[in-house]
Each structure stands twice: as structure tokens, then as C-alpha cells.
Structure 1
Amino acid sequence: MGDTYAMKGGSKLASEIYHSKVSSDDPNHVGEKSVNRDEQEMARLGKRQELRRNFGFMSMLGFSCTLMITWEGLLTVFVYGLTDGGPAGLIYGYLFCWLGYFTVVASLAEMVSMAPTAGGQYHWTFLFAPKSCRNFLSFITGWQSVLAWQACLASAAYLGGTIIQGLLVLNYPTYDFQRWHGTLLLYSVILLAMLFNTYLAHQLPKVEGAVLIVHIVGFFGVLITLVYLAPHGNAHDVFVLYLSNGGYDKGTSFFVGLITTVFAFIGADGAIHMSEEIRNASTVVPHSLVASIALNGTMGFCMLIAILFCIGDIDDALSTPTGFPFIEIFYQAVRSNGGATAMSAIVLSLMIFATIAVLAAASRMMWAFARDNGLPGSRFISRVEPRTKLPLYSVGVSVVITLLLGLINIGSSAAFNAVASLVVSGYLGSYTLPMVLLLQKKILDPSSIHYGPWTLGRGLGIFCNVFGLVWIVIVMIFSFFPSVRTGLTLQSMNWSCLLWGGTMLIGVGSYFGYLRGRYNGPIVETDIIEQVHGV
């Protein structure tokens, strides 16, 4: 990158600079009025601007909404909620998770307004943690975040590929379903995502704004068609009917089934990792985070109610040969392969665009962590291509990882799903430490917090932190439960606990082994230190 980094002790200066209260209206601040606010905030955090800022509020709102694709994602995975909890469990579980996610996202929005960097959670953990352990806690947070985004990228590409397979099954009864077909289709989706993140990257803000329109218009297209043409159930079957097909008692079944809604909101922090490419990031990112969770949550809840009223025969939906109950529900609604395919194609196209957004966020998270020496091969991964000002090396590494993970599906879909199961635990785990540390500061030392332009206030902020943390603990515990209690097999077992624990051990081993002495928290560029202190 050609950057000059501070030696070893530079990461400690990152915290000192942050707490120095240098602000954009300080008359002694570097660059004074000639330097825009984003550069000032980056300098305050000890980072040089390396990426091109070409995202605004609408493009970032589109990015956030289409990355989460809540109503579309809900359709692809609501089989788990139907199995554990049933229709009523899905309804009330959705409301519980929406509120939980909202408090978590509000907490993240407050922190990104304080320190808008691509590293996000691990950077905040370093800033808020005690000096004695901040390097280690920061590393563990960053490690979880990197793994979660890589697993999410593989999952998004896999869902796109397998939805195509489901449509082939619907339209061609003689089609011979093979797992390697799904892997090749996964490859096509991820390579398309790579195209948009490299050669067409300069068009990505415009694309995301346009996809937001498709996201909203497609919602109404599917919703109106479904409600108008499909046979309707009664309110009892939607708001009262609980199912415990997984073999758990009623209460446990409800919590195990939450995984459907949790997955539908996954990736809520995506905009955070694009912070260094957003104009006025300290206000635009928080606004886009909160607006996207509100908009997506509303559309997701409406679609959930509609799909449950129009579900028809639940057994047929669960046993569909396409592998996706929503395709069978669409078919039962329109009684036409062509109509069901057209409706499913909307979901498929948005899943592909979500993969494009996930690759952008995943590569930025990897790039940021590598920039601070948090990964093996950091010197290579952290390079920025000077002409395009894009982290093309981290984009390429992310694509290669997904291509390799896709090979696992050929041998065993259960093994691939085990890897993908890192998504929930990795994301929620990366949110936990910065929220705990911020809450501790709010209660014990509120004067030490230097809020950004977007803040919740002390009372509401403490509520969001506490409720969000309690919600994370509940969801993480039950995300490790298998969807069925009886007759467990290698295919039906939930391996996420083993994978999450194993990857955490690998991370700890890396920190005390290969990366020993190399990762010292966010690195500060020495020339930025001089600028901030007016040298």
C-alpha cells in the first residue's frame, strides 16, 4: 500500500488519538476547513483515507436493505420456523427478533457514529476495552466478524444456486438433481458478484439504488399476487396454531424456531464495513442502519403474514421436491409453473444482488482486519489497487474462499451447512463485546465517551444495549440446538456449536502463535499522528 505504519506501540496511540477529542470544528484540527469531515474523522482514528467515497444515503440504504433482503430471506428459510413453532411461533418470534435486532442495530449505529471505520466492531472493542486486554478482545471480535462474513458470502451464493436448482425441478420433472450442479451454480453466482465488485465497482452505488426499487416493487408484486390468487386460511391457523414437529416442548420449540427470523435479518452491520467509502459516514451510516431495519422489518412482517395465510397444505410445502417451500406455495397460489417461476425469479434475482452486496462488505471487513495485521498474509490482503482505489486483493481472497467452500457441498450438503451455520454465532458474537464494553462505560464512566453526531442518549442507549445483549444471549444459545430432537443423524445434527467453538480455538491459537506480537490493535499511520497533533 505504500503506507508508513507506526511500530508496535502505534496501536496504543490509536486509542489516545481517539480520546483526544479532536473534532471537525476544532480550529487547530488538521486541514481546518479545507479538509472535509470524513478525512478529519479518519485522522482522529489514526487512519488515512485510502478508498474512494462514492456512496450516499440512498445508495447505502439500498445496499443495507438488499444485503439483508429480509422478506426474501424469510421465504428461503422459513421451513425451520414451520417445523419448530409453526405459524404462531413464526409470527411472535418475528416480532421478538425484530425488536431485538432493532436494539442491536441502534447500538451499532451509535458506535459507528463515534468511529466510522471499515473495521467496525473490533475497532470499537479496542477503543472501549481496558488497556490490559484490549488487544486480545479486539482480535477475537475481528476474527469472529471476518469468519461470519465469509460464511455469509458462501451461504448467499449457495442459496442463489440452489434456488435455480429448485426452479429446474419445478419446470423439468425429469431433471436429475445433483449436488455438484448446485456447486457449479454457486460458482456462477459468486463470479457474477465478483464482476460487480471489480470491473463494475464504480457503478455499484447506482446499482444499489436501483436494486432498492426492485426490492420494494418486487415485494408488492409477490405480495399482491399471492394474496389475490392463493386460497386463504383462517386467523386461528396463523395467530394461534403452534407446531412442535421437531420433538421439543412448546416453549423450547418457539425459541429453536427463532433461527428463521434471525437469519432473515443477518448482515445488518453491512453498511458499517463500507464506512470508508461513504460520504458523511458518521451520520449517513447510522441513518441507513436504522432506516433499513425499519423498512425491511415492516416488509418482512407483512410478507410473513401473507405467506402464512396463503400457505395451503403445510405438509406439501414442507415436503416439496424443489427444496424450498415458498416455490411450492407460489405454485399452489397461481397453479402455473410459469407463474410460480416468475414470482420465484424475483426472489432469486434479489438473492443474487444480495450476494454482490455481501461480497463488498465481506471483502472490506477482511481488508480492514488485514490492514491491522489481524490475518495471515495481511501484507498481501490489505493492498489497495491505486488506480481504482479498491481492495481488490481481499475481494479475490473472499471469492476463492467461497469457491473452495462450495466444493464441500459436492461431498456433503450437511458439511456445507455446518460451515454456513457460523453465520449467526459469528455475527452475534462480534456484536457482543463492543456492546458490553460500551454499556460498562455508560454506567461506570459516562464522561469518557465521546459521542458522534448520532446518539441514542444515555437512558435509551442503556436500554438498547441491555435488551440487545439479553436478546443475543438467548438467540445464540438456541441457535446451537438441532431443528429436530429425536432421530438425529449426521444430516440433521446442528454442528454450529462445534464449528464456532473450533474456530474460536483456532483464533486464540493464532493470536498466541503465528500472530503473537503482530496484532496490537488498530495500527496508526505515523504521518496521520503528526497531522492530528499539528506537527
Structure 2
Amino acid sequence: MVKKPRIREAVQLIVHYSVISFLGTIAVALSLGEIASIWPTAGGQYHWVAVLAPQNTRVIASWFTGWISIGGQIVLTASAAFAAGLQLQGLITLNHPDSYVPQRWQGMLFYWLVLVYAAAVNIWGSKILPHANLASGVLHIVGFIAIVALLGAMSPKHSSHYVFVEVSNSSGWSSDGVAWLVGLLSSVYPFLGYDAAAHLAEELPRPSRNAPLAMVGSVVANGILGFIYCIILLYSLGDLNDLLKSPTGFPFMQLFLNVTKSKAGATILVLIISLIAVAANAAGLTSTSRTFWAFARDEGMPASRYFAHVHSNLKVPVRMILLVTVLQFLLGFIYLGNTTAFNAILSMAIIGMYLSYILPIVYMLLCGRKKLNRSDYGPFKLGQIGGIIINTIAVLWLVFAMVFSTFPNFEPVNAQNMNYSTVVLVGWVLFGALYYLFFGRKVYTGPVVETPATELQITNVHATDQK
């Protein structure tokens, strides 16, 4: 489990999650959406870097962007399955607190079960996957309304002073300011993954329009729902210590049980959240496998031709779906051996995804706007001045978030609570660097896009670097 240093921080939590994090994230989504509107390709970030970076560095910059993006997506998708699996295990504890003793290996099996479902539906259920995603969206809205209404109507309420004025710092950090900044992790994570639409661009109708709208729309929807949920949650927390002592390991499960006074009622509410996490994992596997498949298609990984294969009957990249699933299976063994190590990998999802976001935005800001003519932009555009301002805000936010996402959650720092995300990220990048140095640079010459967008073609990477 990823511990949060400050479960309730009143105004700090509301402002951080609902205002600062939202504004920073919307700037990033707008920036990436504009680029996706120009080049709607499955590769996303690493394709964009290939056309935006200077000629002499575009190939290597593109490769490392793709490598970092894939690592972040694999871990991010796995984190949804991990949450869903442990929540399903927590439901057993909720209903049988006296007879069931949860074991870590059992949690791993639940995690694997969610991964198997995601792989199966992506391979054999590709035709029903859009309907499953739609059903998940409906469940999300209906569940949100039901939970908010129930908490609002049935739970004892704290005063507005408790919600908006009181502050609780249990992190061990002597400075409330540092503790507030370290709490960034919990407000950044819910917004991750909005680039998924970009990686499905080659399968969307009118991708230059629909991909950026989906990216920005998901952030806006999450921001609004998150703000409402934060307010209701803070008013309805009840006894915080009671929630933290929940045998399920999930304070929100104990809150649902306290409010409904019914194990059946609490189980239904928890299942809503768990099923949404299961669906998120399946949708995330779709996006991640498409990005990795595009990378293989561009010869950016070992055995590229093998993994770039698309099944002739199923019309999906079966081998890539299985590869991503196997890699996520292996993450379960890390959790089995050391929960701290697994938490570091989850933290890496944030840093890895944000690194892959910041690179195309920086290149767009420094190089792209000088190269592109007005006619080169897609239907989703920010304007010259507006684009510079929004890109700058996005870069500042990404740097800020990445820096404080590496901080330990608690003081004093020891081997168990240390944030190892930087170590894991460096390990992933170092492994990639060694592969690229000895093998990758000999075969990877940059991505190729079958559907041209502007005169600034990704295929130009081949021509310029072979001269």
C-alpha cells in the first residue's frame, strides 16, 4: 500500500487536489492535446519528440522518450490492477474480520486475476471493449452520485471549521510547508493516464479533433468530480483514527461500513470502486500495448518484428498484449518480497509519465512553434501567445510535481519508508541506455507515421540522419 503522509489536510487537500493540481494538469493536457491534434499517432510522446527535437538529437531523444513513456505506462496500468486486487482481498476482510487473515501472496493472486481478465478482454473481447468502457463510465457516474449522496445524507458531519481551517500534520516533517508539498503524490496520481486517447489515435474517427478533446475532457471531468468528492469526504470522515485502524487496510472501506452500518451495503459501495479499477486496468492495457506496439513497429525494442505482429483474425497485437501482461505479472513478485520496493515502482509511474509529458512540451515550446506555420496546426490549437503561456505553465508544473514526488512520505527517513522511485527510474533508464548503446542505435532510426499530418514529417528523421 502507498501510505499518505497526511490523510486530511483541510484547505491544503482541497486546494491542492482541486485547484493547483487541476490547473497544472489541465495546462499539460492542453499542451499535449495541441500536439496530438497535429500528429495523431499511436506512439504519442516519442513520435512528437521525433518531429519537434533538433535534427541532430531527434532520434536519440525520441527513443528515450518512448522508453520512459512505456515504462511509466506499464507501471501505471499495473497500479490500477494492484489497487483492484487488494480491494477485492480487503472485501473478504471486511465481511470476515474474525476468521480471515490476509496474506501478501493472496493479494498477489488477486492482482494476477485482474491482469488475466484485462488480457483476455483485450485479446478476445476487443469488439466488446468499447461497450465495457462505456459501462464503466456509466458505473463511474452512477457510483459517484450514490456514494456522495449516501455520505451526504447518512454520515455524521464535521463542522466547516474542521474542514476548512484545522490542519493535521502526521508526516514527521517539521515544516508544514514541506509536508504539504510531499502530499503532492496523492493529488497527482488520480489525473494520470489522460494521454491514453493519443495512443489510440490511429483507431479513432477524426483523431485530430477527438483525441485532444478526450484528453482535456477527462481532466476536466476528474477535476470537477474530485472537488465535490473531497468536500463531501472531509465533512463525512468521522473518527480519523478509527478509519486508519481498519483491518481491511483501506480507510474508505471502514468509512462506508461506519456510514451504512451494513456489511452488505459497504460491500456494494466498495465493489463499485473496485470494478472501476478493474475496468481502468483493462483500458490501460489497451493504451499501453498500443504504445509498445508502435515502438516495436518502429524497431525501438528487442525482437521488434515479432512483437509488432498483429493477429490476422483478431486484429489486435496479441503478442504485445501478452508481453505487457507478463511484465506486470513480474511486478507482483516484487510486492511479494518487499512492499516498499513495489511502492517505489508505483511512484515511478508518476515520474515516468511526467518525464514523457515534459519532453514534447519543452521541444514544442523551444523548437516547434518556430518551425510550424499557422496552417500546420490541427483543429485543436492554443494560439501563438496562448500556447507559449500554457506550455510554460505546464513545464513548471511538471518539474514541480516530479521533484516533490521523489521525497520520502515520512520523517525520520529509514529503509522502510524511503522513496525509492528515483532509484527504480534510474535503473530502468540505465537498462534502456545500455540496450540503445549496444543494439538500439543500430536499428532504430526514428518513428514512421503512415498518416502524414504536415510537411514536418516524422519520416524526415530517416532521411536527415542517414545523410
What is the TM-score with the length of structure 1 in the denominator?
0.81
2:111 corresponding residue in structure 1: 186
Please report how far the alpha carbon of residue 524 of structure 1 lies from its aligned counterpart in structure 2 after TM superposition.
Answer: 6.0
Distance 1:373 1:128 in 2: 20
Matches within 5 A, 1:179-258: 179-248=104-173, 249-258=175-184
Matches within 5 A, 1:106-145: 106-145=30-69
The C-alpha deviation readout for 1:229-268, integer Å capped at 9, x for no partner, is: 1111111222222222112211111111011110111111
The C-alpha deviation readout for 1:24-56, integer Å capped at 9, x for no partner, is: xxxxxxxxxxxxxxxxxxxxxxxxxxxxxxxxx
2:15 to 92, 95, 98: 92
The C-alpha deviation readout for 1:353-376, integer Å capped at 9, x for no partner, is: 111111111111110111111111
Distance 1:318 1:477 in 2: 28
Matches within 5 A, 1:28-67: none
Alpha carbons 1:122, 1:139 under 8 Å: kept:
yes
Matches within 5 A, 1:494-533: 494-523=419-448
* SS across alignment from 1:80: coil
2:298 corresponding residue in structure 1: 372
The C-alpha deviation readout for 1:122-141, integer Å capped at 9, x for no partner, is: 00001001111011111111
Change (3 A) 1:508 1:490: same
Q: What amino acid maps onto 1:122 in structure 2?
A: Y
1:452 to 378, 381, 392: 378
Please report how far the alpha carbon of residue 202 of structure 1 lies from its aligned counterpart in structure 2 after TM superposition.
Answer: 0.9
* SS across alignment from 1:490: coil
Distance 1:505 1:399 in 2: 22
1:433 corresponding residue in structure 2: 359
Please report how far the alpha carbon of residue 491 of structure 1 lies from its aligned counterpart in structure 2 after TM superposition.
Answer: 2.5
* SS across alignment from 1:93: helix
Matches within 5 A, 1:261-340: 261-340=187-266
Alpha carbons 2:124, 2:314 under 8 Å: kept:
no
Q: Which runs of 5+ in 2 are unaligned?
A: 461-467
Aligned length: 453
Which stretch has the larger CA shift, 351-360 or 433-442?
Answer: 433-442
Q: What amino acid maps onto 1:399 in structure 2?
A: T
Distance 2:122 2:269 in 1: 27
Please report how far the alpha carbon of residue 389 of structure 1 lies from its aligned counterpart in structure 2 after TM superposition.
Answer: 1.8
Q: What amino acid maps onto 1:505 in structure 2?
A: L
Alpha carbons 1:126, 1:521 under 8 Å: kept:
yes
Q: Which runs of 5+ in 1 are unaligned?
A: 1-75
Please report how far the alpha carbon of residue 194 of structure 1 lies from its aligned counterpart in structure 2 after TM superposition.
Answer: 1.1
Alpha carbons 1:116, 1:272 under 8 Å: kept:
yes
1:341 to 264, 267, 292: 267
Alpha carbons 1:215, 1:350 under 8 Å: kept:
yes
What is the TM-score with the length of structure 2 in the denominator?
0.93
1:363 corresponding residue in structure 2: 289
Please report how far the alpha carbon of residue 298 of structure 1 lies from its aligned counterpart in structure 2 after TM superposition.
Answer: 0.5
Change (3 A) 1:447 1:194: same
* SS across alignment from 1:326: helix
The C-alpha deviation readout for 1:472-499, integer Å capped at 9, x for no partner, is: 001000000111021x333311110111
Please report how far the alpha carbon of residue 444 of structure 1 lies from its aligned counterpart in structure 2 after TM superposition.
Answer: 4.5
Change (3 A) 1:483 1:230: same
* SS across alignment from 1:243: coil
Matches within 5 A, 1:411-490: 411-441=337-367, 444-445=370-371, 447=373, 450-486=376-412, 488-490=413-415
Distance 1:453 1:81 in 2: 43
Distance 1:461 1:283 in 2: 17
2:29 corresponding residue in structure 1: 105
Distance 1:526 1:409 in 2: 42
1:398 to 308, 324, 327: 324
* SS across alignment from 1:244: coil
Alpha carbons 2:9, 2:168 under 8 Å: kept:
yes
Q: What amino acid maps onto 2:81 in structure 1?
A: A
Alpha carbons 2:408, 2:417 under 8 Å: kept:
yes
Change (3 A) 1:524 1:264: closer
Alpha carbons 1:81, 1:260 under 8 Å: kept:
no
Distance 1:527 1:235 in 2: 55
Q: What amino acid maps onto 1:134 in structure 2?
A: R
The C-alpha deviation readout for 1:327-356, integer Å capped at 9, x for no partner, is: 111122122222211111110110111111
Distance 2:39 2:21 in 1: 27
Alpha carbons 1:81, 1:90 under 8 Å: kept:
no
* SS across alignment from 2:407: coil
Which stretch has the larger CA shift, 236-245 or 473-482?
Answer: 236-245
* SS across alignment from 1:387: coil
Q: What amino acid maps onto 2:417 in structure 1?
A: S
2:315 corresponding residue in structure 1: 389
* SS across alignment from 2:81: helix
Change (3 A) 1:81 1:99: farther
Distance 1:317 1:350 in 2: 22
Distance 1:328 1:162 in 2: 15
